[in-house]
């Protein structure tokens, strides 16, 4: 196995790792409800699950049928 000839300083090590950062998540606005949500994620609003502006699951219908 290869071994370094000299110890790499903390500063030099940290310079190499500068591109690894936490990024802020992108926030989208639902065209139907105006709710803020993460891109490519479904979100609940008033008992309904929305994805791309359309209702995917309506929880209020489940309560009526049961």
Mean pLDDT by 10 residues, the chain (66 residues): 91 85 87 92 93 90 60
Separation CA 27–CA 41 (nearest Å)? 10
Alpha-carbon separation of residue 49 from 13, 18, 61, 62, 63 (angstroms): 46, 39, 12, 13, 15
Question: Rounded distance, CA 18 to CA 28, Å?
Answer: 28
Closest CA to 41 of 19, 26, 62: 26
Taking the model in full, what pTM does it have? Answer: 0.57
**Residue 7, CB half-sphere, CA atoms under 13 Å: how many?**
3
């Amino acid at each position: 196995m290869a071994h370094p000839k000299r110890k790499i300083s903390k500063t030099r090590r940290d310079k190499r790792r500068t591109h690894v950062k936490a990024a802020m998540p992108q926030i989208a606005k639902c065209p139907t409800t105006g709710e803020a949500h993460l891109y490519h994620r479904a979100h609940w609003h008033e008992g309904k699950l929305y994805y791309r502006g359309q209702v995917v699951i309506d929880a209020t219908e489940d309560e009526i049928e049961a």
